[in-house]
Structure 1
Amino acid sequence: MYYPILKNKTNEMLALENVKSHNFIPIIELVSANRMKYDEAKKIFEKIKHENTIMIDIPNYMNNKVIDKYDLIDPRNRIDFFVNFKKEYNNNMIPILSFYYTDNMKKSIKDNITVLNGLLNEFDEIGIRILTDKTFKKDDIEILENIDIFMNGILKKIYIILEFSQSTVNELKYFFDNFEIDKFKKVIVTGEIHTADSFLENDELQCTLFKNKLLDLVHLLKEKYSSKQIEYGDYTVVDKINQFEDEVREGPVFYVPFLRWTTKHGDICKYTAQTVGNMEQYKDLCKLIIKHPDFDQNHCSTCKDIYTLANGGDINYKAGGTWKHRMITHHITTMADYLD
């Protein structure tokens, strides 16, 4: 099973519509309190609720405005939010507990245990998300150690979603060495693929190739710990944090067109145009992609669009956002097939 992490933003939600595979469970981060985007997300949830289970998280690492809007620091409000969300949007929802903090660690532990117990009373399964990246974490592992004593008999109801980056190898090792992972429902190792230490230029393919070291790590963990409970998840082809997320921009934004296309083994080829603002260059990028030995025009709707444009066909191709959701669709389809 594959676990893609998506935000409730328009293009990431649209990407789900065109994924035909059922071998994935999306982890959807509610990070936008914008009402229009929230309603758009609802429409997508309505369409997928009978086909796929979804996981919902309200993460604490992005100055998340959803937390403030619904006062989710309060444990009771957080429980009620998930219960009401399930009733309104998706009966197949699995809530994810991201640990929240106050100034007092003892109170933080108490509040998170309150939310944990409340969710376990309302849901058959829940997730607990551990952000091991030093950039975002506070004391997630410490809280998990404190609540572990309350988990006897219920661990098979819990998915552990464990964040990984190359800077946190020690934290990851600590988790696997100190927790009995086979007692959990699943342990999902997640992270970004296209990181600074994973790319190399590939002149033959005319792209920057990002090796999927995260996938290699999951294979190694499965082998080392002889566990079928360990699963793989990622942020698809998008960045965990959008560098423009909090900027107020006026007028058109010009950038160099690029496409991140996923190979059948989970690596990412980034094809980049030559000049800023010339959207006609998407045609040239598609012509490069169809030369890749893994390319199959019948693989998914995205590959069909790439093939059509590369061969002079008429499709909508000049909007970067359109290509974003197309490439996410392709990535989810590819990884779901690979991990089937």
Structure 2
Amino acid sequence: MTIYFPILKNSSSEMSALENLKDETKQKVIPIIESKVINPKKVDEWWSTFKTLGSYFQKKINDMKFIYDFNSAFDKLGEALESLKSPHNKNLIEHCIEKLNEKNLNFIPCIHFDSPEWIISSVFKFRPTEIAVRVRCHDFNSAMEDLVIERIQDKIFSQNLKTNIYIILDFSNSPINEVRIKKSIHNFTKLEPQKLILALTNCPEDASGINPVSFTAADQRLDYKTFQSLKKEHPKLLFGDYTVRLKGEPDNNPNINYYNTYLKIFYSTEDDYMIGKSSLLESDGIDTFISVCQEIIESDIFTKDLSFADKKIEECANKRFTINNHSKPIELGINHHIELTVKQLTGSPVLSGL
């Protein structure tokens, strides 16, 4: 069965996008979920960030299989600190795995190719049947790949446990270079992983280049087209991307004036990344976003029954549902993108809502 691997952050919008997927879609998706980030100001009680980790995931994704990436927890600390201990003397990896295990969640722990040995040993301590190894190809050039492969072989594959290993080749939003990607696929295939996942995106990071009160094509989906091209030569290759959200939700920065922002929705089609954008919120932004939604549902690319998101967009267009914050369009854009991408990967028709 074809499986799709979207990369998501553990945020309310992105988890709600997963929660509202169709049941049949959930069977064809293994999301790669990045950890919440520890606030340096709260590092002395870092475990409070993960207090409800297991129960929250149980509520949002229940028995859905997912990959959990611990690495981003340390993003604002500068390094992965083994010295961080919970009141029960557990390091962060042990603490999070125990939280997830408490709720019997179906997860695959994810380490990075350059994870320190304490993280690797903490993961293997739980004797997982599957692990994922994320290789940030966007952080080094192809000349370094032999060293990266050697480290993965030495530190991870040599554990001699009966563990299926997924390799995630993560090119993030670096300029798409099919020659480089082909070389990486060839090199990492030598490790004979259980699954090889190509993750990349060229979705625009923001809507700064889009005119207000419009619904416009922002870029072609070269990421998906590149995958389809490579899959002809590598039929077992699997696809992952960053959906329509490379960055996480904006911080609740008190210095940002809500009324001086726009409502935006990133809306994927089979070929393009479209962006809908309101006027400034201080200039009737909520009302103009209704107009944007009306333009979406009147377009040839709208598919009413494709997703939960499309139904909500139609409700907004018909003034039966109000969108007045930034998180809801993020949720809807991601939910729509995942449903659409699964349809494409499985060869199912994307029926018109007209």
Instruction: Find the residue that maps to 1:288 and give its secondary structure.
Output: helix
Which of 199, 203, 226 pairs up with 1:194? 203
Which of 227, 242, 246 pairs up with 1:218? 227
Q: 1:282 is matched with which residue?
A: 289
Separation in 2 of the partners of 1:323 and 1:231?
A: 28
Superposed counterparts of 1:142-221, under 5 Å: 142-148=147-153, 151=157, 157-164=164-171, 165-167=173-175, 169=177, 171-180=180-189, 183-195=192-204, 206-221=215-230
Instruction: Find the residue that maps to 1:296 and give its secondary structure.
Output: coil
Superposed counterparts of 1:1-340, under 5 Å: 1-20=3-22, 21-22=25-26, 23-33=28-38, 38=50, 42-47=54-59, 50-60=62-72, 63-64=75-76, 71=83, 77=91, 80-81=94-95, 83-100=97-114, 108=116, 111=117, 115=120, 118-119=123-124, 122-134=127-139, 142-148=147-153, 151=157, 157-164=164-171, 165-167=173-175, 169=177, 171-180=180-189, 183-195=192-204, 206-224=215-233, 226-228=234-236, 230-240=237-247, 244-245=250-251, 248-250=253-255, 252-253=257-258, 254-263=260-269, 265=270, 267-277=272-282, 278-312=285-319, 314-340=320-346
- Unmatched 5+ stretches in structure 2: 40-46, 347-354
Q: 2:44 is matched with which residue?
A: none
Classify 1:7/1:273 alpha carbon distance in 2 versus 1 (closer, same or farther; 3 Å). same
Separation in 1 of the partners of 2:321 and 2:188?
A: 51
Classify 1:324/1:62 alpha carbon distance in 2 versus 1 (closer, same or farther; 3 Å). farther
Instruction: Find the residue that maps to 2:181 and give its secondary structure.
Output: helix
Residue 276 of structure 1 and its aligned partner are, at CA, apart by 4.8
Amino acid at match of 2:288: Q
Residue 82 of structure 1 and its aligned partner are, at CA, apart by 5.0
Separation in 2 of the partners of 1:216 and 1:155?
A: 35
Q: Is the 8 A contact 2:149 2:188 kept in 1?
A: no
Amino acid at match of 1:184: P
Separation in 1 of the partners of 2:34 and 2:95?
A: 14
Q: 1:105 is matched with which residue?
A: none
Classify 1:61/1:192 alpha carbon distance in 2 versus 1 (closer, same or farther; 3 Å). farther
Residue 159 of structure 1 and its aligned partner are, at CA, apart by 0.7
Instruction: Find the residue that maps to 2:261 and give its secondary structure.
Output: coil
Q: CA RMSD in A?
A: 3.8
TM-score by structure 2 length?
0.75
Instruction: Find the residue that maps to 1:257 and give its secondary structure.
Output: strand
Residue 80 of structure 1 and its aligned partner are, at CA, apart by 2.1
Separation in 1 of the partners of 2:332 and 2:223?
A: 22
Separation in 2 of the partners of 1:135 and 1:176?
A: 15
Residue 6 of structure 1 and its aligned partner are, at CA, apart by 1.0
Separation in 2 of the partners of 1:309 and 1:232?
A: 32
Aligned residues: 318
Separation in 1 of the partners of 2:291 and 2:274?
A: 15
Separation in 2 of the partners of 1:213 and 1:323?
A: 23
